[in-house]
Amino acid sequence: MRKIENSELERKSVEEFKQAEKTPIIVVLDDIRSLHNIGSVFRTGDAFLIEKIYLCGITATPPNKEINKTALGATETVVWEYKKDVLEVIQELKSQQVDVYAIEQVENAIFLDNFKTQTNKKYALVFGNEVFGVNQEAIKLCDGTIEIPQLGTKHSLNISVTTGIVIWDLFCKLKTS
Protein backbone atom coordinates (compact mmCIF):
# COMPACT_ATOMS: atom_id res chain seq x y z
CA MET A 1 0.00 0.00 0.00
CA ARG A 2 1.10 3.52 -0.81
CA LYS A 3 -0.24 6.70 0.67
CA ILE A 4 -1.84 8.86 -2.03
CA GLU A 5 -0.23 12.24 -2.66
CA ASN A 6 -2.36 15.39 -2.48
CA SER A 7 -1.77 15.94 -6.20
CA GLU A 8 -3.46 12.58 -6.94
CA LEU A 9 -6.72 13.33 -5.15
CA GLU A 10 -8.55 14.81 -8.16
CA ARG A 11 -9.74 17.78 -6.15
CA LYS A 12 -12.29 20.07 -7.74
CA SER A 13 -11.44 23.69 -8.29
CA VAL A 14 -13.74 26.24 -6.63
CA GLU A 15 -15.44 26.80 -9.99
CA GLU A 16 -15.86 23.04 -10.60
CA PHE A 17 -17.35 22.69 -7.11
CA LYS A 18 -19.84 25.48 -7.78
CA GLN A 19 -20.88 23.86 -11.09
CA ALA A 20 -21.11 20.30 -9.70
CA GLU A 21 -24.43 18.65 -9.00
CA LYS A 22 -25.09 19.02 -5.28
CA THR A 23 -26.22 16.47 -2.75
CA PRO A 24 -29.78 17.54 -1.79
CA ILE A 25 -28.84 18.36 1.80
CA ILE A 26 -29.10 21.76 3.48
CA VAL A 27 -27.59 22.33 6.91
CA VAL A 28 -29.07 24.81 9.37
CA LEU A 29 -26.80 25.82 12.25
CA ASP A 30 -28.60 27.64 15.06
CA ASP A 31 -26.75 29.40 17.88
CA ILE A 32 -23.47 27.52 17.40
CA ARG A 33 -20.87 29.10 19.72
CA SER A 34 -17.65 27.45 18.59
CA LEU A 35 -16.01 28.94 15.52
CA HIS A 36 -14.08 25.71 15.05
CA ASN A 37 -17.33 23.73 14.97
CA ILE A 38 -18.70 26.08 12.32
CA GLY A 39 -15.56 25.64 10.22
CA SER A 40 -15.73 21.86 10.57
CA VAL A 41 -19.31 21.85 9.32
CA PHE A 42 -18.25 23.86 6.27
CA ARG A 43 -15.47 21.38 5.57
CA THR A 44 -17.85 18.41 5.89
CA GLY A 45 -20.34 20.21 3.64
CA ASP A 46 -17.62 20.65 1.03
CA ALA A 47 -16.58 16.99 1.27
CA PHE A 48 -20.10 15.79 0.44
CA LEU A 49 -21.11 18.58 -1.96
CA ILE A 50 -24.05 19.73 0.13
CA GLU A 51 -26.31 22.40 -1.29
CA LYS A 52 -26.17 25.12 1.36
CA ILE A 53 -25.54 26.09 4.97
CA TYR A 54 -27.75 28.53 6.87
CA LEU A 55 -26.09 30.25 9.82
CA CYS A 56 -28.65 31.47 12.37
CA GLY A 57 -28.80 33.28 15.69
CA ILE A 58 -25.42 33.80 17.35
CA THR A 59 -23.64 31.54 14.83
CA ALA A 60 -20.67 33.48 13.45
CA THR A 61 -20.21 34.02 9.73
CA PRO A 62 -17.26 34.04 7.34
CA PRO A 63 -14.89 35.63 6.75
CA ASN A 64 -13.44 34.72 10.11
CA LYS A 65 -9.89 33.60 10.91
CA GLU A 66 -11.03 31.04 13.51
CA ILE A 67 -13.68 29.53 11.20
CA ASN A 68 -11.08 29.27 8.44
CA LYS A 69 -8.71 27.29 10.69
CA THR A 70 -10.99 24.27 10.37
CA ALA A 71 -12.88 25.13 7.17
CA LEU A 72 -9.64 25.22 5.14
CA GLY A 73 -11.28 27.26 2.37
CA ALA A 74 -14.67 25.50 2.37
CA THR A 75 -16.36 28.85 3.10
CA GLU A 76 -15.42 29.73 -0.49
CA THR A 77 -17.07 26.65 -1.99
CA VAL A 78 -20.17 25.85 0.07
CA VAL A 79 -23.00 28.32 -0.44
CA TRP A 80 -24.04 29.89 2.85
CA GLU A 81 -26.42 32.53 4.10
CA TYR A 82 -26.95 34.23 7.45
CA LYS A 83 -30.52 34.55 8.74
CA LYS A 84 -31.08 35.67 12.30
CA ASP A 85 -34.27 33.67 12.96
CA VAL A 86 -34.07 29.89 12.60
CA LEU A 87 -37.88 29.64 12.71
CA GLU A 88 -38.14 31.78 9.57
CA VAL A 89 -35.55 29.59 7.84
CA ILE A 90 -37.48 26.42 8.70
CA GLN A 91 -40.75 27.92 7.46
CA GLU A 92 -39.10 29.13 4.25
CA LEU A 93 -37.56 25.71 3.57
CA LYS A 94 -40.85 23.93 4.19
CA SER A 95 -42.62 26.32 1.79
CA GLN A 96 -40.08 25.15 -0.83
CA GLN A 97 -41.09 21.50 -0.21
CA VAL A 98 -37.85 20.71 1.65
CA ASP A 99 -38.21 18.07 4.39
CA VAL A 100 -36.81 19.60 7.58
CA TYR A 101 -35.48 17.44 10.42
CA ALA A 102 -34.02 18.52 13.74
CA ILE A 103 -31.06 16.45 14.87
CA GLU A 104 -31.93 16.05 18.52
CA GLN A 105 -32.83 13.63 21.28
CA VAL A 106 -36.60 13.93 21.68
CA GLU A 107 -39.59 11.69 22.24
CA ASN A 108 -40.39 9.60 19.17
CA ALA A 109 -37.24 10.60 17.29
CA ILE A 110 -36.28 8.38 14.36
CA PHE A 111 -32.96 6.68 14.96
CA LEU A 112 -30.56 7.61 12.17
CA ASP A 113 -30.06 3.99 11.12
CA ASN A 114 -33.85 3.67 10.64
CA PHE A 115 -34.26 6.95 8.73
CA LYS A 116 -35.27 6.36 5.09
CA THR A 117 -34.56 8.86 2.34
CA GLN A 118 -36.63 9.29 -0.79
CA THR A 119 -35.50 9.90 -4.34
CA ASN A 120 -36.04 13.46 -5.60
CA LYS A 121 -36.40 14.86 -2.07
CA LYS A 122 -34.34 17.61 -0.51
CA TYR A 123 -33.51 17.46 3.19
CA ALA A 124 -32.66 20.21 5.66
CA LEU A 125 -30.96 19.24 8.91
CA VAL A 126 -31.21 21.57 11.90
CA PHE A 127 -28.37 21.47 14.43
CA GLY A 128 -28.56 23.46 17.65
CA ASN A 129 -26.40 25.01 20.33
CA GLU A 130 -23.60 22.91 21.83
CA VAL A 131 -25.14 23.06 25.32
CA PHE A 132 -28.89 23.50 24.77
CA GLY A 133 -29.41 21.71 21.44
CA VAL A 134 -32.15 22.60 18.98
CA ASN A 135 -34.68 24.94 20.58
CA GLN A 136 -38.15 23.53 21.24
CA GLU A 137 -39.95 26.00 18.96
CA ALA A 138 -37.74 24.93 16.05
CA ILE A 139 -38.38 21.26 16.84
CA LYS A 140 -42.14 21.89 16.71
CA LEU A 141 -41.84 23.35 13.20
CA CYS A 142 -39.76 20.50 11.81
CA ASP A 143 -41.19 17.55 9.90
CA GLY A 144 -39.51 15.23 12.39
CA THR A 145 -36.41 14.56 14.43
CA ILE A 146 -33.47 12.27 13.90
CA GLU A 147 -31.36 10.89 16.72
CA ILE A 148 -28.00 9.16 16.52
CA PRO A 149 -28.20 5.99 18.63
CA GLN A 150 -25.56 6.02 21.37
CA LEU A 151 -24.61 3.27 23.77
CA GLY A 152 -22.16 4.86 26.20
CA THR A 153 -22.59 7.00 29.29
CA LYS A 154 -22.53 10.48 27.71
CA HIS A 155 -25.22 10.34 25.01
CA SER A 156 -23.69 13.52 23.67
CA LEU A 157 -21.51 14.14 20.63
CA ASN A 158 -19.73 17.30 19.53
CA ILE A 159 -21.75 19.22 16.93
CA SER A 160 -19.06 18.78 14.27
CA VAL A 161 -18.97 15.01 14.85
CA THR A 162 -22.77 14.81 14.82
CA THR A 163 -22.96 16.76 11.60
CA GLY A 164 -20.37 14.52 9.97
CA ILE A 165 -22.16 11.33 10.98
CA VAL A 166 -25.59 12.52 9.83
CA ILE A 167 -24.43 14.00 6.53
CA TRP A 168 -22.41 10.87 5.73
CA ASP A 169 -25.37 8.62 6.51
CA LEU A 170 -27.80 10.63 4.38
CA PHE A 171 -25.22 10.96 1.60
CA CYS A 172 -24.89 7.16 1.45
CA LYS A 173 -28.64 6.62 1.51
CA LEU A 174 -29.32 9.27 -1.15
CA LYS A 175 -26.58 7.82 -3.37
CA THR A 176 -28.18 4.37 -3.32
CA SER A 177 -31.86 5.39 -3.47
- pLDDT score for 24: 98
Is the per-residue pLDDT at 177 higher than 80? Answer: no
* Per-residue pLDDT reduced to its tens digit, 19-35: 999 999 999 999 999 99
Distance between CA atoms of residues 1 and 42, nearest Å: 31
Distance between CA atoms of residues 48 and 173, nearest Å: 13
> What is the rounded radius of gyration, in angstroms, for the C-alpha atoms of the chain?
16
Domain ranges within the chain, ordered by starting residue: 21-176
Architecture of domain 21-176: 3-Layer(aba) Sandwich (3.40)
